[in-house]
Amino acid sequence: MNILKKLYHNYPILLLLLLGVLIFITNLNVLMVNIMEARNFISAREMLTHNNWIFTTMNEAARYEKPPFPTWLTAISAYLFGMESLFAYRLPAALTSILLLVIFYKLQLLLIIQKNVAFISSLILMTSFYIVFSGRDGQWDIFTHAFMMGAIYFIILTFNSDVKKYSYAIIAGLFFGASLLSKGPVSLYALFIPFLISYSLTYKFQNLKVNWKPMLLFLIVGVSTGISWTLYVHYYDAEAFAAVAELESSRWLNYNVRPIWYYWSFFTQSGIWTIPAFMSLFYWYLRPKVSNIKAYKFYILWTLVSVVLLSIIPEKKSRYLLPVLIPLAMTTGFYVEYIIKNFGRRLSKIERFPVYLNFIVLAIIALAAPFVLYYFFGTAIWEKTLYFLLVGSTLILIGVGFVFGLLKKRAKLLFGLQFLMILAILNFGFPLLELISPHRNDPNIASLIKYEEVEKIQIYEVSGIIPELIFEYGKPMPVLNSEGDLPAEAKTKKIGILVSQEGNPEWKENFQSYNFQLMDTLDLNPTMAKGENSRLIREFYVLTKK
């Protein structure tokens, strides 16, 4: 404990880095690859194998839906640490999440927020559900928002500094451009514009006459960097790019449409911090109690404006709320600061209710977790005996700690245990997920690859590709619509095909020159959910010429 105190007082950023490693990097290869990850990882792999660094592809088809900067970083990581390493593909997102933490913490100090509140808020941010998920997952959301936070930090630094204005403006522009190169204008709309509105209403942009030239430089660097790839691909592969752009733009209006109130429960995306996050939104209640009223007003405005702007867009997904969690972590930090200072003596009964509710719920979850895990995994859990005992015993101790902390009214202990709960789950509990991996299904992709090598046949996909399968397959898989698509040299050979009977029931009519032999059914669902998602199921046939 003394070491942690010394690190906090003398080297807080180093402590954040160490905690960030424990949150984002440990057990990074445990979670099964999801569809978005698989698409991104395939593009990164094909950058290396096909040298497609500008004209990005997936399964050898043009993929221009997202700009390539995170894909470049992922490809470099795969080159350095191994193209078969899932850890390598996920590492850039994890490191970018840690970068976000450092920028977030330093931004609070720049706004004259007390060091302890800035640190508490950083702990809240790094353990918020969608931040943890995005940081350990190979999606590009964390990149675009982390880089935009870098732009925001250096813009404020430009306005607050008397020297190095142009240097700060250039760095802000590079971060801004990196954000655009990560996911287009997503963070510009969901994070940057809400920041501009809330900052101008609270802190105001002072000395615009002095700073307009650095800001112009920022815009020139940021916009030119951010749109460079788009302009290049649009010019040299206009037809493919236009088709992708039309599809993507139509999705904003017609795909995954949800009602305008869909995001009203946005605070639940902070996961373990849901109740404190909800309480931190009661502005009139918390305003006279926080240590920095101006900063609190700024962050709550930033949070709410971001939610409003996201709600206007018809297409809605829970993961789009990621940028909201960044300012929300700061408002939650102010609430936690108030509770820590006053829990033992000054809180009214009404004020104590959400605090007790929060920690009683967490205590129940922690104490029940070992039994729930055993019920969920069954006897297979003994294959991971060490991890089960570690996570089970740690969570029980944390649960007992919650009860003790409530009885003794020790708020620091309670919130510290809340943070440790996430640490325990990620470091001791995550390895248990290997017990439900699709790799444990029989047959699996490894057995498919082995069969292909032994029988010396080419396998084709007939019903549309499964990105997760292509990534695990390790190379592009040709797609067939009919036997007419077969190369001339393959038409007289035995071939393998993967087909979805549900999605393509009349497929046999397109292969009338062949005899069919059903070999097995490939199921990429987790072991406990076999057969549930038909998209992840393919029947494997061997076709021989009649």
Question: Which pLDDT does position 506 carry in this prediction?
Answer: 85
Q: What is the mean pLDDT of the chain?
A: 92
Is the pLDDT assigned to residue 492 strictly greater than 90? no
| Token output for 203 | 């802190």
Residues 424 and 330 in one domain: no
| Total domain count, the chain | 3
Residues 365 and 281 in one domain: no
Find the length of the chain.
546
Name the burial class of residue 454, with classes exposed (0-12), middle (13-18) and buried (19+) by CB atoms within 10 angstroms of its CB. Answer: exposed
Encode pLDDT of 24-63 as tens digits: 999 999 999 999 999 999 999 999 999 999 999 999 988 9
Question: Which pLDDT does position 221 carry in this prediction?
Answer: 97
Residues 203 and 295 in one domain: yes
Is the pLDDT assigned to residue 253 strictly greater than 70? no
Residue 301's domain comprises: 2-342
Residue of 69, 127, 77 whose CA lies nearest to 101: 127
Residues 284 and 362 in one domain: no
- Residues in contact with 9: Cβ distance below 8 Å, sequence separation at least 6, in sequence order: none
| Token output for 520 | 């097995």
199: Cα within 13 Å, side-chain hemisphere: 16
Contact 47, 56 (CB under 8 A): yes
Question: Which pLDDT does position 410 carry in this prediction?
Answer: 93
Local structure of 476: helix, strand or coil: coil
Residue 226's pLDDT band, with cuts at 50, 70 and 90, is: very high
Residues 432 and 445 in one domain: no
**Strand duo 61-62 + 459-461: pairing:** unpaired
**514 φ, ψ (degrees, to nearest 5):** -125, 150
Question: Which pLDDT does position 1 carry in this prediction?
Answer: 63
Question: Which pLDDT does position 156 carry in this prediction?
Answer: 95
Residues 114 and 250 in one domain: yes
Residues 92 and 215 in one domain: yes
Encode pLDDT of 156-170 as tens digits: 999 998 888 999 999
Encode pLDDT of 310-336 as tens digits: 999 888 888 899 999 999 999 999 999
Residue 154's pLDDT band, with cuts at 50, 70 and 90, is: very high
Contact 225, 285 (CB under 8 A): no
Q: Which residue has the tokens 């797609």?
A: 479
Count, in order, helices (H) and strands (E) of the chain: 22, 6
Q: How far apart are CA 58 and CA 466, in angstroms?
A: 11
Residue of 291, 181, 271 whose CA lies nearest to 225: 181
Handedness of CA 419, 424, 430, 435 (dihedral sign): negative
- Residues in contact with 67: Cβ distance below 8 Å, sequence separation at least 6, in sequence order: 180, 181, 182, 183, 184, 229, 230
* Domain C-terminal end among 294, 321, 342: 342
Residues 278 and 190 in one domain: yes
Q: Which residue has the tokens 């096909």?
A: 50
Q: How far apart are CA 485 and CA 465, in angstroms?
A: 16
Give this prediction's pTM.
0.94
* Domain C-terminal end among 436, 459, 488: 436
Q: How far is CA 338 from CA 114, 116, 263, 347, 505, in A?
A: 13, 12, 27, 10, 62
Beta bridge partners of 460: 497
Residues 53 and 145 in one domain: yes
Beta bridge partners of 257: 315
Residues 223 and 120 in one domain: yes
Is the pLDDT assigned to residue 196 strictly greater than 70? yes
Contact 437, 32 (CB under 8 A): yes
Q: How many CB atoms lie within 10 A of CB 427?
A: 17
Residue of 223, 221, 216, 176 whose CA lies nearest to 195: 176
Q: How many CB atoms lie within 10 A of CB 3?
A: 8
Is the pLDDT assigned to residue 252 strictly greater than 70? no
For 501-514, b where at least 16 C-beta lie within 10 A, e where not — what string?
A: eeeeeebeeebeeb
* Domain C-terminal end among 342, 358, 384: 342
Residue of 64, 22, 3, 18 whose CA lies nearest to 39: 64
Sheet holding 495-499, edge to edge: 459-461, 495-499, 537-545, 514-523
Residues 325 and 360 in one domain: no
Is the pLDDT assigned to residue 487 strictly greater than 90? no
Contact 545, 513 (CB under 8 A): yes
| Rounded mean pLDDT, 251-269 | 83
Residues 189 and 292 in one domain: yes
Question: Which pLDDT does position 251 carry in this prediction?
Answer: 67
